[in-house]
């Protein structure tokens, strides 16, 4: 009986691992639209990093926040409009600030 339980547990684990791998490799319709707006080099970087459970959107947000932090202090992105290239960030001590960025490169304007 213990062998059957172990076998069932291994099968469930394999299914869960396979599902998370498929999810990481299959961007949603929204993520496909986000990727389509990027320049080819940045798109390749995002797809390379969007593995192991990291979604395309999460990778883009982290990359954007890192670019913002290189120019000004920011704790997190609170809201974002990809089409307009505007992010609202929580800044230490001074509340919120709007940051403009190029949606194709994620560089600050």
Whether the pTM exceeds 0.95: the reply is: no
Q: Is residue 106 part of a domain?
A: no
- What total of structural domains would you count in the chain? 1
What tens digit of pLDDT does each residue of 44-101 get?
999 999 998 899 999 999 999 999 999 988 999 999 998 899 999 999 987 999 999 9
Cα dihedral sign for 97, 100, 103, 108?
Answer: negative
* Torsions phi, psi for 93 (to 5 deg): 80, -30
Domain of residue 28: give its range.
Answer: 2-100
Is residue 36 one of the residues assigned to a domain? yes
Q: Does 54 reside within a domain? A: yes
- pLDDT tens for each residue of 83-95: 899 999 999 987 9
Residue 27 confidence class, pLDDT cut points 50, 70, 90: confident
CB 73 within 8 A of CB 92: yes
Q: Domain for residue 108, yes or no?
A: no
């Amino acid at each position: 009986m213990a062998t059957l339980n172990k076998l069932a547990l291994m099968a469930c684990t394999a299914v869960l691992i396979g599902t998370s791998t498929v999810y990481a490799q299959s961007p949603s319709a929204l993520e496909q639209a986000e990727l389509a707006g990027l320049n080819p080099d940045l798109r390749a970087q995002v797809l390379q990093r969007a593995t192991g459970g990291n979604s395309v959107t999460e990778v883009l947000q982290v990359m954007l926040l890192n670019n913002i932090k290189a120019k000004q202090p920011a704790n997190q992105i609170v809201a974002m409009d990809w089409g307009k290239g505007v992010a609202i960030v929580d800044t230490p001590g001074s509340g919120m600030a709007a940051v403009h960025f190029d949606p194709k490169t994620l560089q600050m304007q």
